Every structure is written in C-alpha cells, then in structure tokens.
Structure 1
C-alpha cells in the first residue's frame, strides 16, 4: 500500500477546481480507508464514493451552501475475527484508547460505551480537520493498530447558518424512493434541486487477498464521482441580512414571538429575500425534521385588511365604483345573517359617515369592503380572487407550498356571510408569499409573474437561466395604476409609520384576528403590512407579518415601521435613488 504523502491542503473556503478535489479525496479514501484488517475470506470490498454536492450561491456569488472535506475515525471489530471474545475486544479498545485519545482530545473507551455488540463498525468522532487526520493516520500505521480507520467524507456547510435556513434547506443521510442510501436534500432549494446538486456517486470494487488486504490498484483506474451542478439564487444575501435584522428588531420591540418577511421584484417575480424568525440552523441537521418548515411558503393565515386591496381592485376593474364614489360608512351592518363591524366601532359606533373609495382604504373599513362585495356579487368577486391566484399555488420553485381551498359561491359549504367576511380577509387563508404575489399585480400594471428563487443553474453541459414568466393578467393596467395612487394615499394620510423618506410608496395595513376551534381569538392578532414602490415605477414589493404582537395588535403600529426601515435600507442598494423631494 502506498504511503499517503500528498501535501495538498484542502481549504473549505478556497476550493481547487471540483474535479481535482474529487480526485484528491478519492486518493485519500483509497490510502486511508483500506487498512489491512478485514474479515477473512472476502474477495473484494465495495465502497460508495459520494460526489461533491454542488454549491448554492446568492445572486452576487456569495456562497450559501457548499461541501467541505472532513474526516472521521471509525473503529471496526468484526466478530468473526476474534470469535466474539470480549476480553480480547477490551484489550484492543484499551490499546486504541492509549494511542488515539491524546490526539483526539477524548476518551475512546468512554465514547465506545454506547457501541452495540451487534455493530462491527463504530464512528468515534467526526469533523476532524485534514492536518489532524494525517497525524492520526500516521500514528495508526506506526503503532500497527488494526481495525482503526480514518475516513474522509463530505460535510455540507452553510456559512450563514440560520440566516437562509428555510430558503436553502439542509442535507440528511437517507434512502431515496428506490432504497439507495446517500445524502439527500431536505427542504428548501436543497430539496427542490436535489438531483442536480448531488451529482453522481461512484461504486468501487477493490480486490483483496485472503486476509482482506487490498491488492495493488492503479490510481488511474479509479473512477471519479461526477460533482453536482451549482445553483445561483435570486436571493441577495445582503438584503436578506437587512430584512432579518429589521424583522428581529420588530419582533423584539413588538413582543411578537415570530414573524415573516418577503421581498420580491414585481416586474420579474425574483425573490430577493425570504425571512422567517426564529429560523432553523441547517448546519445541525440531526436536530431537524426532514420537512423543516419555510413559513413564507408553507404556513397559512387569514390575512385581514391587506386583502381589501384585492376587493377594491375587483370593484374598480368591474366598474362598480370609481375612486371618487362615495358610500355611507356605518359602524356595523348585517351580511348574510351575520354582523360585520368596523375595527373602530367603539370609537365610531355609527361609522365615519360618507367616505370615498380611497378613504375606505385609508381608514380600512370592513363595512366598506363588504359593501363592495355586495355590489360585485359572488360570481364576480370569486372570479377576481381566482384571477389574483387566491386558492392556488404560486408555482414557486420551492417544495411543500401550502394551499387552502377558497370556500366559494356554489360550494355546498358556502354561506352568503362568507362573501362579506372574505371581502376584508377573514374566512380565507393564504401564505405570506401568495399574498405578496397577489398584491404584486397592482405594482406590475395588472400582471402576475411566477415567483422564483433560482436564477441560474450551472452544470458541465452549460448554464441555464430562469426567465421571468407571466402567469396571468389579474386586472387592467389602468386599474392597477389607479389603485396604486389610492394605496399611496394610505401611507401619505394614515399609515404614516410606513413612510420612507425620499420615496413615494404605496401600501396597506393588515390586522387579522386568529381563528381557533372556538371562534376568533379575543386578544391575539396577526399584524402585517404589504407595500411597494416607488409608486411611479414600482421596483420592489415588501410584505411584513408579525404573529401575536404584545405591545400593540395593529399592523399600522407594528408591521408598518418594519416595512419602512427595510425599504429605506434596500432601495439604495437596488440602485433606486430617492426623489429630489420625497414625503
């Protein structure tokens, strides 16, 4: 057997080309894995060499996930070799402990107390660096230790830890649908693009002599695993970090235990940031379920008053109202046998009197939204929801997207009261992403784009870019432009905490009650804000959602300031200069 004399250093943050690294690791496996102690009578050994998994990068090339070479020390004690003699096994373990424990910084005998008698292999420690692995290998050879092997393996590393956990996902070791074991992507991009990222492993059959020692093998005969392709995301790591920082501040100040935020380009559907807090750390896959959640894509909630954007869009599109159309706002009305009341009915028990459509949005009138639903009627109202994609997946390139059926006119469980409640965001559930994509139509002259997180795929065959794709037209461009101006009035006249100095923005607050099996929670709410800008040429849309804030239940008080801080920091980064004179 050759002496492992290679002096190449493998740095996890500065890899040599993938193919060269693959060859080096194969060579190290061949030189260190096959120690001269295998069950006698074996004619050959089979070894699966995992391919280097492809990197995941952000849109500017920052590494979000990569494979780094790591090493593990494995003990092997085949019962056939010693006939299951516990005394000889104990003496052997003591010898291993005396030689290796000072190098590894742990007690081998202590570590092996959990070694089941039925296992003939046991990993003592994992994750040791290459320099230490070489020292350990040399000491094993000098001492003539049998049954101790240093094995290299690929470890998935996520430099930013939880920052992108729900988006990127993580990797676990398990079997596929055919029962073939290996490293598999779980959740996020790792799951959605698993086949491309994982590459193609190699199965080596190494001939051995009668005592299990490997016979000479030409190095050039060793096949190389095919490295996985690289995936470049639309995510901007810098923007992701800003959103995470501001969302964390929002949670701390409001007392909300968790929250979500998403930033996308309404013109293209590119997702620039997707944050959920608290988030899981993909560097600790042993602590995670295989379906660790991405709440922006998987968690449904009743959106509340931000949904009034869609109701108003439907009314304008169908011509039942104009911005200047007025209605009599009352504190409460009956709709389908159920009462519908404004959120401030205690302050204005008789309502606010005559309001136009912009004021309906500014003061977020539930009674006004129900009035629009009554003018539209169920057929036109539900046709509008369908046009905005409510009740169907967005087709985002991430796994496990949740969808809830919209209880609509004609369904056996539909009631007329549902129409009134759905007009202001009750009795209908969406994910944060679905809500953001629906509102993006207003920012994009009525067009809904398919949202996506993978911008580019790089393989040995070449580069494939994701092109923006129109899903459908929800409303006309004229309706979208009219509604944008109305939503700008919401920020300018009422939701002042959502103002962004130097930029004219548009948006809507949301304060949603939380349904329970016994009705709506009397205290807790979901506070949200969705907005976009600049109004004249919307380049970015931001949705912020805080679950169960304690300081104040209102979206205008808790979510709106988070929106404003995020927008103020990312708009300049996106090359969008402030206006000469802004709000």
Structure 2
C-alpha cells in the first residue's frame, strides 16, 4: 500500500487546480457559503416543525388529561352501545289511525368477563334487573373470556336499566323487532315478520318491500307532511319507508272477533270466518278467522304452519244455499222469469238424470221466484238453471267472480273451483246441484264480493284491505276499482228487495228489531272422498243492513257446528244478528221508523 501524499500536489487536495485565477476562487467561496446557508435554513425549519408538533401534542395531552379528565373517566365506565343494523319498517294502521303494527326495540346483551370489576356484586345487580339467575351470571363474570353472550332478547326498558349501570364490561346491541300492540287481533289479515325482517303472511307479506322501503313509488312534488292525521289520531310518518293505512276499522274488527269467538264456543264449531265489507267500495272493514295466532310469538306456531294462512281468502268450501242468490239473480237478469213467476214444487226435480230434493224432503206447491229464494228451495233453483242452460249459467258464475281470484291485496288467494261443460269432469247433473251451491267451491271473500255487487247496482268491486299509503310523508289514497258488472242495476235493486223478503220468510233468527235487513242462509254438506259427510256441515249466513241503503254486508261462516247448530239459520244467522245490532249502534244508524221518516221529510 502506498502512503498518502504529504502535499496537495498540482491539482490540490480536492482535485481542483491550485493555480486558478482569483476571480474564480471568489465564486467558489460564494457557492460554498450559499450551500451552507441552505443547510442551516432546512435544519431550522425541521426544528421549528418538531417544536410546533411537540407543543400541539402537549396541549392535547393537557386538554384531555386535565381539562376533560372527568369526562374521559366517565366514558371509560360506560357500556358499549352498538348500532341497530336493520332499517325501520313502516307502520300499519287502521282507517282511523289506530296502530296495528310497528317496530319495537329490544337488546342483545353480552359481557366482557375479563373486564368485570366486581363479579359477585354485578351478578346480583344484573339478576335483579333482568330476572336472570344470579349464580349463573356470577360464574360467567368470573371467567377470563373476552366476550360472552348473555341473552339475545331483553325488553327495551330492561336494557335501558343496564345502560344506566355504566359498566364498561357490558355490550348492548339494539335490535328492531316487529310488534303488534293488539296481540292476535286481525292476525290472519296482518300476518307477521320474521327475524330477517321479511313479511311471511297477510299484509306484511303482500306489502313487504313497500314497508321496508325497498320498493319505491312515485312521490308528488308537494312538501311531505310532518304529521298525518286520521280521525283524532295524528302520527309521524316513517321517513325511510311506507306506512300503510288499512280499510279495517279497529273497533269493527274487535266486535267481529268477539262474536266469532262466542259463536264457535256456543255452537261447538271447529273454526269459522267473519267478513264485514262496505258494499259500495269493496273496503274490508273487518276480517277474522279462527283458529288464529299471536304474531308477536309466531315461532311457537311453526309446528302447525297452516295456521298462518288466512281462510277468508285461501280456504275453499261449498257455499250451499247462499249460492241460490246468484242463480236467482242470473235468471232474473236474462228476463226468463220475474219475481212473481210461479213454480210448482212437487218436492223433487230431475236434472241430468239426478233427482234433486229440498233440504227437508217436502214439496211446497206453487211458489213464486221470490218464495223460491225465501223458502230456499233446491228444486226451484234447479228448475231456474234448466231455463238458463249451462252456457248462460256459467257465464253468470264467471261474471260474479267465481273460479278466479278477486284481486284482493293479500297473498295466497285461492281461485275457487268451478266445473264447466267440456272440462272432462262436469256432468249434466252438475247444472242442477250447482244451482244451490253444491259441487262448486268458493272462498269467503269471493262469496261476499259477489253478493255485495247486488247492493251496488250490479258493480262488482275489487275488494281491498289497504286504503292509503303514506309515502315518505305524502298521503296517497289507493284507487277503488270496479272489476265489472254482475247484473243490471235494475235487477240488483230487485235482488236487494227479494233478499230482504227472504229473511222475513225463512230466517227470523237473523232479524234485528227496529231495522229491516236482507240476507240468505247456507247449510252445505262437507265433501269427503266418494260423497259427503253424514253430519258435518258448513253453516253460513250473508246479510246486510239497512235493507234499503246498505252500509255494510256481513258474511258469517261456521265450520262443523254440532247438533241443531249445523243449520245456518240456527247458528250463523243469530251470530249475524248480534254483530249487526252492534254495528248499527256503532255507525249511529237510527231505526227505520226514524231514519226513513226523516228522509221523507227531507224529501218534501
């Protein structure tokens, strides 16, 4: 290795020539000075930034540790409160604003045992508030687990008490649940909502996406209302979804359910249905069936899922003599007969090779068409059908809406069953038996909708259960729809009078003192493989009031009542009477002698 040079040499120590001119040496000095100055400036700026950051951090430390020390200590003792993950679901209310379905809040309650400061004392406090076992809680609180779920369902008020304990080991998560304030009231119609917030029956299913705010409808340009008022009940609309206003009247629904419960108890029926409808609009004022369930506790019924169906729209049955109203109306509308046309009843009548007899086996002699309806003569209605013929009769059956859904806004609606010539199962004798409601299957909603058309100038309405939608603060009425015409307005008015006469002839058990009413009974045998059950029947009555200007129409259907109650006149008709008396009072409809007198005075 060579030794370093002892002198700079000809190029100098830095490889620069030492013999440069003086002016160039001055320039190099200035450059070196500038570089040194820049280095010092950068170092100063870095030092200033570090100093400023240190001061800011010191200020924040003093702020949190001194100024807001107490607040931090309080937060440290608070339980962890999670946010609800589900979106609110719209409310359901009756036509007067009465709340039928809404959301409620419960809590999931968990704990971090390794953070519990006083396990024994905390266990006693929590047990006192929640009703849970103190020893089991104590055992959980003693563990070293980072987290343990205690329960997934605590009532809102109980959860709030746990929040007030300010225990940092608690984890409380609010959960939105569907709540039905009236329990089983209108359960078959309302349906229920599962844990995934999906409606699985009734209105909750049919309008599920609307209520969840998933399916949008066009909103008007007007400002949304902060408050919606229906009757005397104002409410704040749901902002993230749609609120439903039903056609149901809570009070009418309550009365219908009471009367159905009493009827099933008194007449030992296995079940039943009552529908109350406004015949002019198709609005369902009440719809109830038994057996039923409590939608707040739907999970307890999962072993018998058939209970979630609504028999009013999904259960098919043979209507029996109520169907004679349809046959008589069709015969009158064609002009083949009038209410006074005579028929000689010998007690039997043959159609398609089958002998048809009256319910009691007797002959009633010469009777008018009005009396055929009044005395409920199987022979007379079979005779009317032979005059009509199959083609015309089944055309009228379809015109009244049978064999097809009504279009009511409820899920799982059945179509009914109507045999027709040429379908391979119809027989010529069916023309005779179908005349009085045997061998034809209908649903309760089809039956009441068809008869209601005769109280509405022949207009067949589409029944509905939703009257209006509150769309993000905008009240939007749903349309009243006419499906078609069953008969002419003149024949409809004639049938209205004939049904009032029929009740006075046949069914005095349905009469309401002070008011004239109209209607028709039905007693239908229950079909079984190979024929009909020897004793089981479906007892029914359909009626309306007042007879001259109906405000409501009621269908009462009782399944398999026992003893003499198997006849519609002995069970369904008295049930109609009790309910109608209450409805006339509820709607403040004066007795005929005062109401009609007032109308005549006003007319003069």
TM-score interval w.r.t. the shorter chain?
Answer: 0.7 to 0.9
Offset from partner CA, 1:28-50 (integer Å, 9 cap, x none): xx97345xxxxxxxxxxxx7721
Q: Is contact 1:57–1:63 with CA below 8 Å preserved after alignment?
A: yes
Q: Contact conserved, 2:79 with 2:166, CA < 8 A, in 1?
A: no
Confirm or deny that 1:133 pairs with 2:159. yes
Deviates more, 1:275-284 or 1:386-395: 275-284
Answer yes or no: is 1:156 the counterpart of 2:169.
Answer: no
Distance 2:154 2:526 in 1: 45
Aligned partners of 2:332 and 2:503: how far apart in 1? Answer: 20
2:104 maps to 1:62: no
Q: Larger relative CO (CA 8 A, sep 6+): 1 or 2?
A: 1
**1:423-442 matches, cutoff 5 A:** 423-442=435-454
Q: Deviations over 1:38-75 (max 9, x none)?
A: xxxxxxxxx77212221111111111111122223135
In the aligned structure 2, how far is the partner of 1:339 from the partner of 1:532? 33
1:344 matched to 2:360: yes
Distance 1:322 1:565 in 2: 33
Q: In structure 2, how many angstroms separate the alpha carbons of the residues matched to 1:335 and 1:429?
A: 20
Q: Which has the larger radius of gyration?
A: 2
Deviation at 1:405, TM superposition (A): 3.2
| 2:248 aligned counterpart, secondary structure | coil
Q: What residue in structure 2 maps to residue 106 of structure 1? A: 132
Q: Distance in 1 between matches of 2:391 and 2:107?
A: 64
Deviations 1:304-343 (A, max 9, x none): 0000000001100111111111112132333222232211
**Which consecutive unaligned segments of at least 5 residues does structure 1 have?**
6-29, 35-46, 78-87, 114-119, 175-182, 202-224
Q: Could you tell me how far 1:567 is from its partner in structure 2?
A: 1.3
More helix by proportion, 1 or 2?
2
- Cα distance change of structure 1 residues 295 and 94 upon mapping to structure 2, 3 Å threshold: farther
**Which residues in structure 2 correspond to 1:7-46 (within 5 Å)?**
32-33=80-81
2:334 is the alignment partner of 1:318: yes
Counterpart of 1:185 in structure 2 is 199
- Cα deviation 1:135-155 (Å, max 9, x = unaligned): 4245472xx53xx52111122
Structure 2 match to 1:520: 532
> Is 1:124 matched with 2:151?
yes
1:250 aligns to 2:298 (yes or no): no
Q: How far apart are the structure 2 equivalents of 1:32 and 1:486?
A: 72
Match of 1:172 in 2: 194
User: Match for residue 315 of structure 2?
Assistant: 299
Query: Out of 82, 86, 91, which is 1:50 matched to?
Result: 86
Q: For 1:272 and 1:423, locate their aligned partners in 2 and report how far apart those are by CA, in whole Å.
A: 30
Map 1:281-292 → 2, pairs under 5 A:
281-289=294-302, 292=308
Residue 469 of structure 1 and its aligned partner are, at CA, apart by 1.3
Match of 1:490 among 478, 485, 502: 502
Matches of 2:354 and 2:138 in 1, distance apart?
67
Deviates more, 1:333-342 or 1:464-473: 333-342
**TM-score scaled by structure 1?**
0.78
CA contact (8 A) 2:239 2:472 kept: no
The counterpart of 2:432, out of the listed 380, 400, 420, is 420
Aligned to 1:219: none
Secondary structure in 1 aligned to 2:487? coil
Total equivalences in the alignment = 491
Residues 54 and 314 of structure 1, relative CA distance in 2, 3 Å threshold: same
What is the alpha-carbon distance in structure 2 between the residues aligned to residue 236 and residue 435 of structure 1?
A: 21
Partners of 1:321 and 1:235 in 2: how far apart? 39
Q: 1:485 to 1:226 in 2, by over 3 A?
A: closer
| Contact 1:200 1:227 survives alignment (8 Å) | no
Q: CA deviation at 1:385?
A: 0.2
User: Following TM superposition, by how much is the alpha carbon of 1:226 offset from its aligned partner in structure 2, in angstroms?
Assistant: 5.5
Conserved? CA contact 1:93–1:109, under 8 Å: no
Deviation of residue 404 (structure 1)? 2.7
CA change 1:76–1:519 in 2 (3 A) is: farther
The root-mean-square deviation of aligned C-alpha atoms, in Å, is 3.1
Worse-matched range after superposition: 283-292 or 516-525: 283-292
Q: Distance in 1 between matches of 2:347 and 2:274?
A: 33
1:121 to 1:304, Cα distance in 2 relative to 1, 3 A: farther
Partner of 1:210: none
- Identify unmatched segments of 5+ residues in structure 2: 1-63, 72-77, 140-146, 216-237, 597-604
- Does the 8 Å contact 1:503/1:582 carry over to 2? no
Contact 1:75-1:124 within 8 A present in 2 as well: no
CA distance in 2, matches of 1:422, 1:466: 36
Structure 2 Cα separation of the partners of residues 268 and 186 of structure 1: 27
Q: Choose the corresponding residue for 2:377, options 365, 374, 378.
A: 365
Q: Aligned partners of 1:101 and 1:252: how far apart in 2?
A: 43
Structure-1 residue corresponding to 2:25: none
Match runs of 1:445-456 below 5 Å: 445-456=457-468
SS in 2 for 1:73: strand
Equivalent-residue separation in structure 2 for 1:196 and 1:97 (angstroms): 44
Cα displacement string for residues 207-257 of structure 1 (whole angstroms, at most 9, x for unaligned residues): xxxxxxxxxxxxxxxxxx963221111111111111111222222221212
Cα distance in structure 2, aligned partners of 1:186 and 1:325 = 52
Once the two structures are overlaid, the 10-residue window that deviates more, 512-521 or 92-101, is 92-101
Of the three residues 557, 566, 578, the one matched with 2:570 is: 557
* 2:315–2:414 CA contact under 8 A, matched in 1: yes
> Quick one: distance in 1 between partners of 2:172 and 2:496?
64
Q: Please report how far the alpha carbon of residue 479 of structure 1 lies from its aligned counterpart in structure 2 after TM superposition.
A: 0.8
